[in-house]
Structure 1
């Protein structure tokens, strides 16, 4: 592989993907766009930028392992028992595949992310 394999990752550049969620999982005001800047050949490892407006998304379970680097805004993760953690610009956090709860975007937010679908 040569230098052409190196990717510059920006929050709002890359393949724009708007994930589709099952009916009733997202609040009516939920809005998000992923900008996939890179992916492995098998698609199990990928990342890029993400933007989201307000709203909430129930993730039961969370579909993959993900590292998030908050660039701006504020989000919260709330587990099914009511445990809550909030994250803002500058925070880096890991969400394991299988987390059960809700992602809340409390204000317009941007992040970088790296996601991985582990083997079953």
Structure 2
């Protein structure tokens, strides 16, 4: 492999993707855009930048394993039993496939993300 395979990942570089969620899963004010700057050869590992406005998204279950690196803003994850964790700029966290709960974007937020998809989700 050569140096031309090395990728620079930026918050708004790459292909913009607006995920579609089933009716009732996202609050009316939920908006998000993924900027997919990389994908592995098999399409199962994707990553790039993400930005979203305040809103909520029901994740029952979370569809993939994801590492998040918060750049700005604040989010909270609340599990189905009421457990809550908040993350802001500088925080790095992992959300496992199968997590059940709600993603709350508390204020306009940006992050880098790296997600490992199943075979059926691969891009």
Length-normalised TM-score, structure 1: 0.96
Which runs of 5 or more structure 1 residues have no equivalent in the other structure? none
Q: How many residues align?
A: 120
Are residues 1:83 and 2:83 paired?
Answer: yes
Q: For residue 31 of structure 2, what is the aligned residue in structure 1?
A: 31
Q: For residue 107 of structure 2, what is the aligned residue in structure 1?
A: 107
1:43 CA drift (Å): 1.2
3-state DSSP class of the match of 1:102?
A: strand
Does the CA-based 8 Å contact 1:13-1:35 persist in structure 2? yes
RMSD over aligned CA atoms reads 1.3
CA deviation vs aligned residue, 1:7-33 (integer Å, no higher than 9, x gap): 110111111000000000000000000
Does the CA-based 8 Å contact 1:65-1:118 persist in structure 2? no
Which runs of 5 or more structure 2 residues have no equivalent in the other structure? none
Q: Distance in 2 between matches of 1:92 and 1:55?
A: 21
Where do 1:14-93 residues align within 5 Å? 14-93=14-93
1:58 CA drift (Å): 0.3
Q: Distance in 2 between matches of 1:119 and 1:53?
A: 30
CA deviation vs aligned residue, 1:30-81 (integer Å, no higher than 9, x gap): 0000000100122111100000001000010001000000000000000011
Structure 1 moving runs of 4+ over 3 Å: none
Q: Distance in 2 between matches of 1:118 and 1:29?
A: 28
Q: Distance in 2 between matches of 1:119 and 1:26?
A: 25
